[in-house]
Structure 1
Amino acid sequence: MPSVSRRYGASGARFERPSGPADVELSAPVILMVSGGADSTALLVLAATSALDIDDGRGVARIARERLRVLHVNHGLRGIDAEEDEEFVRDLSARFGIPCTIRRADVAALAADARDNVENAGRELRYAEAARLANELSERFGTPRSAARILTAHTADDRAETFFMNAIRGTGTAGLSSIPRRRNRIVRPLLDRTHDELCDLLRMRGIVWREDDTNADTRYLRAYVRHEVMPVVRARNPRVTASLANTCDILSDEDAYLTAVAGRALRDLTRREGDGLVVLDASRLAALEVAIARRVVRAALLALRPDARLEARHIAAVLRAVAAGEGSLTIPMAVSAHVEHGLLFLRARSAATPSAAWLEVPGRLELPDGRVLSARVVESPAGADPAARARTHALEWEGASVLLDAQAAGVDPSRGGRLWVDAPRPGDVLCPLGMHGQSKKVSDLLGEARVPLDERTSVPVVRTSPTGPVVWVAPVRPDERVRCAPATKWLLELTLLEAPDPLA
């Protein structure tokens, strides 16, 4: 017989569990994320009284009571309602004899600091707190962290809504897979049940729940999909939730398979990695099926910059260069890509601070990270529309080059001139092009452009002089006051060129 060890749960109650290796995972903590709404209330009730499949190898089975711990995160967004939610969860946990942990935070302030929306900030906070509690309890229980489970109350309705939300935003297979049944330690045991089924279950047991008024606010995308999109779709197909669940399962399985294939391909194609550099065999990459090639490039980029916000156009641009056998490009806030001699060089961008220096017009200024700022003045062709030409130029260069009114920027077309280049300063303000003269802090502009905090000091700021106004925050936005107008005769072209690859 295996030996028996005695431990004391967080509530102080003593429990016994087998200490044999095969039973260790069945003693690991199970965190229930409970907000107080109907779905999470049902999760607590079912975990305490019924059998659930939490993907621990036992299938649908009862969870030992001593493994359970409720986590409630008070976001501090709804005043007295939030306080009442917290008290409700605390009382319900006590009713079922489950220890409850309360974490509080000012999510609005966290979102403002991170330049993020409140929904995303709240979600990231909840998962971070759940991971922290799981780690703390794993250490206390003496079980591996990987054996812990974090249970969320996502339902089939949530999965269908997320499918449409991601489709509206624009996504690939992973996004259309919607909410996975499991991701690492996070398990969603209610994914096959609907919200209405869980509400009926609670009513049958005489258990009330809390309602969050923000769930009806259609300014939030999920609420819009829930109250505006889903009723229309459900009127056409009453079983759309079940249909989408099957679709999401298929897409999830196929996405997992393609990801595994791409992972093997990435390992085979890698010729060098380390020190912010990944070098791939471009010739063999070009020969791959495009579905795999996209995933290989995406995985390589995320290996360099896990926080990069990649879009389909970034991956497509890299693959175009690979197909051509040559070319260089910059992926905003991520890496530089360079193809030459049958190799694809992906290098993480440096966060070196630009040296304060003059940029001669015409002329070039090399920045500490190897990038180059160039400037020249060209005459606007007779009969042309300078403003339309400037807009087209900016689109073609994706903001890495701009056409401005030379005289408005203080540059004499006949004698040239010079501009001052340095890093963003505290209190810097400009009137971003397109905002019709409204001013904005440069720090806010960079936040809205999702430039990571650790990269903001590397953003070149072009000014008319060391103490003059901002002309261009490169490559984010020029100033409205130097934009091209119909009467503009001389165009100032400013271009930020990516550093050439030293291994090329």
Structure 2
Amino acid sequence: MLNKFKKHIDQNFPFLENSKLLLATSGGIDSMVLAHLFSELKYSIVLAHCNFQLRGLESFGDQNFVQEYANANGIPFFLTQFDTEAFANDYKLSTQIAARELRYNWFYELLETENYDYILTAHHADDNIETFLINLSRGTGLEGLVGIPAQNDKVVRPLLSFTREEIVEYAKENSIQWREDSSNASDKYLRNKIRHHLVPLLKELNPQFMESFQKTQSYLNESQELVEDAAVMVYQQVVREEGETIIFDLNQLLRLPNYKSYLYQWLHEFGFTAWDDVYGLVESQSGKQVFSADYRLLKDRKVLILSPIFQEVDDEVYFIEKNTPAVNIPLNLTFCEAADISDASNSIIFVDEDKLAYPLILKKWKEGDSFQPFGMNGKSKKLSKLFKDEKLSLLEKENCWVLWSADQIVWVVGIRQDERFRIDNSTKNILKIALQ
């Protein structure tokens, strides 16, 4: 296996040879074999062990075992301990998901703080089968069937092409010691049921099952690449990006024969799971929304608007003193004296500075706010009516800031100036305010 492994690394992961490698080491047979292989090949590795404190003294036994192995073989060693159950309860996660979040966050932190290049994990071919069957049993798209990636960002899985049988045989041939996780013997978890009962049956029915499965996954990966290529090409026709906001043109989208498939391909990476609700937005009325943990998808007339969810304080207020040349929070505004007022626009206003009461106040609009729009001869208008007339989306309304002088609006920023601060024949000092 060592020669086969070396050839595999040379062909598929040549960049590992001169890299500093962080090897996730549980103490189980897979990670101990991986540590042995890289040690035999004289690679620069360090062992990183997480004690999740889920199995009492057994967890500390694993910790001591890995630490003693590292010390005996002169391999650098990192250790951390987690209160996994408390973390899972606090964040409403399953124990398995919580453990995954904790360990990968720690691994990436070590990469940054200790200047290591890659994280190595000991996932193997049988893990791939189990993951495939788990996803299949729960219902999944194509991306759930293509298997565990051999590399995902800084995480590399060099054993994915090796079976559990090969790993066990190598461990025995080389007298490698390991720890058995007692929880692996229980059928409490779906993965264990598949491992203990379903996979052995499939191998019994077809002795060449592993080889057939790997071919199938190779074909599925090729299909997934075609899907991704098509999604990218169509994306350019349907979507435009404005900063962190992504806007989907529904007229273009509905011309596609399989528009739901494209929406899924574009949106699943943003954490959406309520797909019937997402697809329903296409035909729903304006203002309807669907949320993921960090994003919102909004229907606004003939478009869908995808934007991050920002946790802002609604009553946040910013004060701007006289002679302030510029502010950059929460908006980029500049203030200067002016003589020429020819470039006035929605983004640039000119006001009679002597009419202003300092400090000026910049804050989000609120329901009930009203002002006297420039050019309407002193007539009052509610901001909500202005937004409706301007056909602003819900997202645009939420992001609207207002500049106040005492209790009067000077400017609905980027939209309309107030009449009361306009320049007239008696104006002596002109202030130019610009939104960058």
Task: Give the TM-score taking structure 2 as reference length.
Answer: 0.63
Note if 1:294 corresponds to 2:287.
Answer: no
Name whichever of 309-318 and 345-354 sits farther off. Answer: 345-354
Aligned residue identity for 1:223? N
Distance 1:501 1:29, change over 3 A: same
Does the 8 A contact of 2:131 with 2:148 survive in 1?
yes
Distance 1:181 1:97 in 2: 28
Deviation of 1:189 after TM superposition, in Å, equals: 0.8
The one of 182, 191, 197 aligned to 1:222: 191
Alignment partner, residue 376 of structure 1: none
Distance 1:43 1:118, change over 3 A: same
Deviation of 1:127 after TM superposition, in Å, equals: 1.4
Distance 1:29 1:311, change over 3 A: farther
Does the 8 A contact of 1:335 with 1:349 survive in 2?
yes
Does the 8 A contact of 1:271 with 1:279 survive in 2?
yes
Aligned residue identity for 1:331? V
The one of 34, 39, 43 aligned to 2:25: 34
Alignment partner, residue 143 of structure 2: 174
Q: Deviations over 1:103-151 (max 9, x none)?
A: 111111111111001111111212111111122232xx7xxxxxx2211
Does the 8 A contact of 1:156 with 1:194 survive in 2?
yes
Distance 1:285 1:195 in 2: 46
Provide the alpha-carbon RMSD of the alignment.
3.1
Distance 1:260 1:249 in 2: 17
Distance 1:346 1:159, change over 3 A: same
**Correspondences of 1:9-24 after superposition (within 5 Å):** none
The one of 95, 115, 124 aligned to 2:92: 115
Alignment partner, residue 310 of structure 1: 273
Distance 1:83 1:354 in 2: 48
The one of 325, 331, 346 aligned to 2:290: 331
Distance 2:396 2:69 in 1: 63
**Correspondences of 1:444-483 after superposition (within 5 Å):** none
Bigger Rg, structure 1 or 2: 2
The one of 87, 100, 123 aligned to 1:154: 123
Runs of 4+ in 1 over 6 A off after TM superposition: 352-355
Deviation of 1:170 after TM superposition, in Å, equals: 1.4
Note if 1:75 corresponds to 2:88.
Answer: no
Deviation of 1:245 after TM superposition, in Å, equals: 2.2
**Correspondences of 1:264-275 after superposition (within 5 Å):** 264-274=233-243
Distance 1:502 1:247 in 2: 44
Distance 1:235 1:134, change over 3 A: same
Distance 1:351 1:91, change over 3 A: closer
Deviation of 1:296 after TM superposition, in Å, equals: 4.4
Deviation of 1:34 after TM superposition, in Å, equals: 0.9
Alignment partner, residue 427 of structure 2: none
Does the 8 A contact of 2:46 with 2:75 survive in 1?
yes
Deviation of 1:260 after TM superposition, in Å, equals: 4.0
Distance 1:261 1:235 in 2: 39
Aligned residue identity for 2:276? R
Note if 1:165 corresponds to 2:139.
Answer: no
Does the 8 A contact of 2:47 with 2:78 survive in 1?
yes
Distance 1:349 1:25, change over 3 A: closer
Distance 1:27 1:272, change over 3 A: closer
**Correspondences of 1:395-474 after superposition (within 5 Å):** none
Task: Give 3-state SS (helix, strand or coil) of 2:254's partner.
Answer: helix
Does the 8 A contact of 1:327 with 1:338 survive in 2?
yes
Distance 1:181 1:194, change over 3 A: same
Task: Give 3-state SS (helix, strand or coil) of 1:287's partner.
Answer: coil
Q: Deviations over 1:186-216 (max 9, x none)?
A: 1111111111211111111112211001112
Distance 2:124 2:260 in 1: 34
Aligned residue identity for 1:330? Q
Aligned residue identity for 2:108? A
Name whichever of 260-269 and 107-116 sits farther off. Answer: 260-269
Unmatched runs of 5 consecutive residues or more in structure 1:
1-22, 51-63, 142-147, 356-498
Task: Give the TM-score taking structure 1 as reference length.
Answer: 0.55
**Correspondences of 1:226-305 after superposition (within 5 Å):** 226-274=195-243, 277-288=245-256, 290=258, 294-296=261-263, 298-300=265-267, 302=269
Aligned residue identity for 1:76? Q
- How many residue pairs match? The answer is 306
Note if 1:47 corresponds to 2:38.
Answer: yes
Aligned-pair identity (%): 27
Distance 1:214 1:189 in 2: 25
